Amino acid sequence: MEKYYVTTAIDYANAAPHIGHAYEKIAADIVARYQRLCGKKVFFLTGTDEHGSKVQKAAIAAGFDSPRAFVDETSSKFKEAWRRLLISNDYFIRTTEDRHKEVVQEVFRRMRQKGDVYIGKYSGLYCDGCEDYLRETDLVDGKCINHQRPPVHSEEENYFFRLTKYKEPVRQWLLEQEAHVLPAGRKQEVLNQLDDPELGDFSITRSRRSLTWGIPVPDDPEHVIYVWIDALTNYITGAGFLSDEEAWSTWWPADLHLIGKDITKFHAIYWPAMLLACDIPLPRLVFGHGFITVEGQKMSKSLGNVLDPVYLTEKYGADAIRYFLFAANTFDQDGDFSRAEMIKIANSHLANNLGNLLNRIVTLIGKNFTNAVPDIEAEQKYLDLADAKTEQYCQAMNVFEFAKAIRCVLDFVDEGNKYLADQKPWSMFKEYQETKDEAKLREAGRVLVTGMKLVKRAAILLAPVTPDLSEKIWKSLGYTESVHSITFNSSQFSHEITPGQVINNPGPVFPRLEEKETE
């Protein structure tokens, strides 16, 4: 069985999760569920980044006795949020785990043994938000472009990593046919950064005088290993490096690092360089996605628009949030979350289009065929359309064009609704009752079986996006196993609809969201 290892960026445990964190985790979940649907053995890793100055300061500000107690509470909030959003991660890693500490220190040792680590003094502008030193040319109006605040001048003696030694090998990796950073524009940004002579060796430790909450440098407890070694190595810790040889040989290299566009440099330059220094194979793909605004504005505590995913799932349900974020936004670009738009689109696509098609079909089969699927062939041209749209769906999903993939499903659902509206099987049943003309009964049955097969296909293809809704549809169609156990290859599915299959009618599988819920 082919494997697929997908990771997200691990989130700083200095505050509770918000919709921006959720956007990336849902995207990774869609990828993981889709790869499982394609029959692959999947490992999906997410987690929290729990060391560093920001976490240490947040713990003090929140009145905790220790950073550890603080991150224990904060990481549990992330876990709960992802559970509510139906995130199917196989493991949730925390950088405070003992096995991760061992990995971080081993990576440091390997780089030092290879001569790629040295002591030096750095003096420059430091952005606490980026956890990185900046240059004057990186600033706009004297402020960091990502965090909109001026960096502070910092100077101390640190250990440095010889990035300059690996700039050319990283470039060659980026230019190889099989090695990619996506989208293409981000890959070019990375290549441009590699051309910058000012991109040099970088600090990988902090003095214990400035940072105490972190993993000590091996054989030098006066220094603490700094964020990028600590954070980035979570991907190999999660895959079993040093702790599980079988898992390590199975999962590494990662097939996809899914990250925000603001940390592409660290994943596409720093991380490959560190892996090369440790003689560890490089990941296959880094994808830097866009950001999510709220009602057209960047999320900000001062604006009061930082949205809690748990609150949103309680109010609207996970499927509506998941569907809207990826049906209404282009993943490689910045997108927006609007409650009014979410309600409008979810009601239109899920309640009206898909839900209405299913409801009509199961109701008519229930009334006219005693809840059993009739032994009648479907209309082939609609199955051919679904096959063609499935091919397009796969092409889009393989390059993370989620909105386009969803549109492919809606296209044949729309055709199914139009088919029922044009053929009017309810009128055929009435005519049959009046005339007892068996041809009319079979004609009506053909329409319903055709529509049922389209709904079945939609349930499977939307399962990565709307897992609960797809499961409800699947069970309505009379299947006992889970829709998430289904695998397919192109348009060939492992489950078909069989004559006599008993359908269920539980009522609306996606109740309409209230239009007034826009507060």
Cross-strand partners of 153: 125
With a CB cutoff of 8 Å and minimum separation 6, the contacts of 184 are: none
Q: How many residues does the chain have?
A: 519
| 130 catalytic per annotation | yes
Q: Is the peptide bond before 374 cis (omega within 30 degrees of 0)?
A: no
The amino acid sitting at 325 is L
The H helix count followed by the E strand count for the chain is 20, 20
Locate 485 and state its tokens.
Answer: 């156990």
Q: Which of 324, 255, 253, 264 is nearest to 290 (CA)?
A: 264
Which value, to the nearest 10 degrees, does the dihedral of the CA atoms of residues 85, 86, 89, 91 take? 80
Question: Nearest-CA neighbor of 15 among 65, 66, 57?
Answer: 57
Q: Which residues contact 169 (CB under 8 A, 6 or more apart)?
A: 272, 273, 276
What does the radius of gyration of the chain's CA atoms come to, in whole angstroms?
A: 26
Pick the catalytic residue from 3, 41, 298, 430.
298
What are the structure tokens assigned to 502, written together?
A: 């008993």
DSSP letter (8 states) at residue 348: I
What pairing do the DSSP bridges indicate for beta strands 335-337 and 488-489? unpaired
Contact partners, residue 388, CB within 8 Å, separation at least 6: none
CA 297 to CA 301: how far, in whole Å? Answer: 12
Q: Any idea of the CA torsion for 308, 313, 316, 321, to the nearest 10 degrees?
A: 80
Annotated catalytic residue within 51, 144, 278, 389: 144
**Which residue in 51, 100, 127, 223 is the catalytic one?**
127
Q: Which of 3, 121, 147, 430 is catalytic?
A: 147
CA-CA-CA-CA torsion sign (247, 250, 253, 255): negative
Q: Is 301 a catalytic residue?
A: yes
Spot the catalytic one: 21, 54, 187, 440.
Answer: 21
Q: Is 18 a catalytic residue?
A: yes
Q: Sign of the C-alpha dihedral, residues 139, 140, 141, 144?
A: negative
Active-site entry in 130, 278, 394, 408? 130
Annotated catalytic residue 147: yes
* Residues forming the active site: 18, 21, 127, 130, 144, 147, 298, 301
